Chain A
Amino acid sequence: DVKVTQSSRYLVKRTGEKVFLECVQDMDHENMFWYRQDPGLGLRLIYFSYDVKMKEKGDIPEGYSVSREKKERFSLILESASTNQTSMYLCASSGPRELFFGEGSRLTVL
């Protein structure tokens, strides 16, 4: 069974903290994505990666960075968390036939 695993389902952080969201896929996919999901706004693409050590900005990259050191792992980094980054974060990876999502990480920044 295909799997996209996000390391934390729920996180609570304080303003200014550095936050790491980890995502691992076991399908040997080259493409990986980070989205954020907010009510009334749907899913918005933050960053994506087509290969190891490669990254491209999505529609809302400000305040985020990413790391892809290994093919199976794609990390989202909030260098200095802010309250407007409170959201649900969804990782995904894609092959030729489908885009697979993880279960999401709900981040609250106080």
Chain B
Amino acid sequence: GNSVTQMEGPVTLSEEAFLTINCTYTATGYPSLFWYVQYPGEGLQLLLKATKADDKGSNKGFEATYRKETTSFHLEKGSVQVSDSAVYFCALSDQGFQKLVFGTGTRLLVSP
């Protein structure tokens, strides 16, 4: 079946550092890929998505590129802020926004 593997956290960075959170997936066919973010005390919010190979999703300075050859969708940001501290979830779906499969989540802690 479909599955998502994320790097374990927490990831601890200083403000303005470069961020990479790794995500790889296993799926039959051509799924859509997503990154969701969960700020403390809140539900999950869609951060960005990509629906086909080589697509790049971007939002709020975050980017991720759908790499079919390496089955990866790594999240990057050039300069993190304290306000980016949150848990980040990689997810996939082969049915649009129905029945997403989530990774285990990666906690990001950014210090001033």
Contact = CB atoms under 8 A, between A and B. Distances in A.
26 contacts: A31-B98, A41-B104, A42-B89, A42-B104, A43-B44, A43-B105, A44-B102, A48-B98, A58-B99, A90-B44, A92-B43, A92-B44, A94-B97, A94-B98, A95-B97, A96-B96, A96-B97, A97-B97, A98-B46, A99-B46, A99-B100, A101-B43, A101-B45, A103-B42, A103-B43, A104-B43
A40 B7 CA distance: 11
A48 B97 CA distance: 12
A31 B95 CA distance: 12
Interface of A: 4, 31, 33, 35, 40-45, 48, 50, 58, 90, 92, 94-99, 101-104
Q: Binding site of B, secondary structure by majority: helix, strand, loop or mixed? A: loop
Interface residues of B, number: 16
A98 B97 contact: yes
